[in-house]
Amino acid sequence: MNTKLPTVYVVGDSTVSSFSDNYYIPRYGYGTQLSRYLKEGVRVINLALSGRSSKSFLTEENYKILKENLSSGDFLVIGFGHNDEKREDERYTNPNLPYTADDEGRGLSFKYNLYKNYICLARDRGATPVLCTPIVRLSDTDDYSGSCGHVTQSGGGYEGGDYPAAIRKLGNDVGVTVVDLTASSMARYLRAGHQKAANFHAWAATSGGVRVGLDGTHLNKYGAAWTAYEWAKAVSQSDNPLKNYLKDEIFPPAESGFEDAVNPDYREPEYVPFGEEAASRLHFKLPLPWHGTVMGDFGGAEHVAEFTIGGDGQNFTVGNQSVVPRGKVSGGTDGFGAAFMRLPADANFTASAVCEVLSVGDGADGQTAFGMMLRDDIYCDQYVPSLNSNYIAAGVAEGKAIFCREGGALKRGQNPLPFAAGCRYELSITKVNQQIRAQVNGFSRTWYDFDLSAVDGASDYLCLFAARNVTVRFSSVTVTQTGTSVRA
């Protein structure tokens, strides 16, 4: 009698994979937690990799390992979708094409790729495939009808579509078990509401001992355990033979699992002033004295390349048009891409530019912002989810002109100024001694003794910035120093 227990192979993206990071509440893919619901002796080999789609995974060593080792009696759990949405040739797959067609000039078929390179591979080896729809992204508004539920819009030459529905249809068409984690995670999040549902997710940092930097895409260990529980429940109610290798009793994680997910070795980061060494590591290179950076709360350092930052010293293009909107100007934190230059903290100056909105993506919302900013500190391509330091902005946020952040609090503009592709704005910031004046299209506001030295006392930073699914062009950029400030 053959008593050999099967091996469960797992492939997928960052929502499935393992991590090694120093977050306050670290990231965990649900693939790391499947074993807690499987019988003792059933081995789980998690080959999932962060950032991969069902297409890009085919080029990885882990796919080669899968092909070399998957054998009769094993199981293959397939969890792709998050990155198949990305509007780039290396990762994008089209959810609208049938599983019988690989490419109709509209991009690689998502269904075909899953079928040909994963389902057929498993069946050819005598293994049993299990398809999983992607978990939802956490929605600030409990709306999972769009991108948070993996239903995307067309743009940039790439077709949008319903990725979970594509997986469900593929499973039905070819007779493969589908575990609908989109539906189960959505239902759980709606029951909990946004505030409690955030406890299922990773938190990157603390600020003054308060957790900040909510990662709405990636789970923490507690959330991963909950997702694995829902996966196990779905398998137990299916006719898939993997149900025979689940534990006899399956229980959801205890609420104490959230406290247990905290990293005991976490320490709050310290600010390091900008210098040549940091400048040398920046992804975007601009003519001196300008530099390009992505900083703050934008989802993680791996997303830097999803921004656009370029220019010749007098004209710059800055923006973000990724499928998942990156960056924000919100009540709690900021995140953006910027062309910036360093100025002495005691410098008087006048800076001006003409700003034109080139494009506004489907993900633009109340956290979209752009313009010219004078701020206290700068970070070089660094994910700082707790970023809420002081600045003054001659720009647009929430459809209003001129705003600032002071003492951690965002102080919104008062003058309505909507934005759309083609809109133009004349921007300026002038500093004379302890007076700073910001202007946008005739609107102006003046501050006296505004604190721009709480973090970096030696320098101020002038930024041409954009955040969250908007791309803008800054032209006729001039910065003229007019002496040294004198305190009255």
Give the CA distances from residue 23 to residues 261, 330, 453, in Å, rounded to whole numbers and listed in that order: 10, 21, 27
Quick one: DSSP state of residue 145? S
Residue 267 confidence (pLDDT): 86
Contact status, residue 327 vs residue 488, Cβ threshold 8 Å: no
Picking from 486, 415, 464, the residue whose alpha carbon sits closest to that of residue 444 is: 415
Residue 364 confidence (pLDDT): 86
Compute the distance between CA of residue 65 and CA of residue 380 in angstroms, rounded to an integer.
Answer: 36
Task: Determine the 3-state secondary structure of 79 from DSSP.
Answer: strand
Q: Containing H/E element for 334? A: strand 334-344
What are the residues whose beta carbons fall under 8 Å from the beta carbon of 334, sequence distance 6 or more?
A: 296, 297, 327, 328, 387, 388, 405, 467
Residue 3 confidence (pLDDT): 66
Task: Determine the 3-state secondary structure of 198 from DSSP.
Answer: helix
Compute the distance between CA of residue 402 and CA of residue 405 in angstroms, rounded to an integer.
Answer: 11
The torsion of the CA quartet 57, 61, 62, 64, rounded to 10 degrees, works out to 90
Contact status, residue 316 vs residue 396, Cβ threshold 8 Å: no
Give the angle 292-267-227 at the CA atoms, nearest 5°: 85
Query: 52: number of CA atoms within 13 Å, CB side?
Result: 22
What sign for the dihedral angle of Cα 430, 348, 379, 283? positive
Compute the distance between CA of residue 23 and CA of residue 25 in angstroms, rounded to an integer.
Answer: 5
CATH class held by domain 276-484: mainly beta
How is residue 308 written in tokens? 């656009």
Domain residue ranges of the chain, discontinuous segments joined by +:
7-260, 276-484
Residue 487 confidence (pLDDT): 56
Picking from 109, 231, 210, the residue whose alpha carbon sits closest to that of residue 166 is: 109
Q: Containing H/E element for 425? A: strand 424-432
How is residue 477 written in tokens? 């950029």
Contact status, residue 187 vs residue 219, Cβ threshold 8 Å: no
Amino acid at 91: R
Quick one: DSSP state of residue 155? B
> Looking at the domain 7-260, which fold is it?
Rossmann fold (3.40.50)
Contact status, residue 201 vs residue 219, Cβ threshold 8 Å: yes
pLDDT tens series, the chain, 488 aa: 356 899 999 999 999 999 988 789 999 999 999 999 999 999 999 999 988 999 999 999 999 999 999 999 999 999 999 999 988 888 999 999 999 987 768 999 999 999 999 999 999 999 999 999 999 999 988 999 999 999 999 987 899 999 999 999 999 999 999 999 999 999 999 999 999 999 999 988 887 788 877 888 999 999 999 999 999 999 999 999 999 999 999 999 998 888 899 999 998 878 889 999 999 999 999 999 999 999 998 988 889 999 999 999 999 999 998 877 899 998 878 999 999 999 999 999 999 999 999 999 877 888 999 999 999 999 999 988 888 889 999 999 999 999 999 988 899 999 999 899 999 999 999 999 989 999 999 999 999 989 998 889 899 999 999 999 999 999 999 999 999 987 54
Q: Containing H/E element for 393? A: strand 391-397
Predicted TM-score (pTM) of the model is: 0.71
- Residue keyed to tokens 């797992």: 10
Query: 17: number of CA atoms within 13 Å, CB side?
Result: 18
Contact status, residue 392 vs residue 450, Cβ threshold 8 Å: yes
- Residue keyed to tokens 């220019």: 311
Residue 1 confidence (pLDDT): 38
- Residue keyed to tokens 């997986």: 167
Length in residues, the chain: 488
Compute the distance between CA of residue 247 and CA of residue 37 in angstroms, rounded to an integer.
Answer: 6
Give the CA distances from residue 477 to residues 50, 314, 371, 425, in Å, rounded to whole numbers and listed in that order: 39, 5, 12, 13
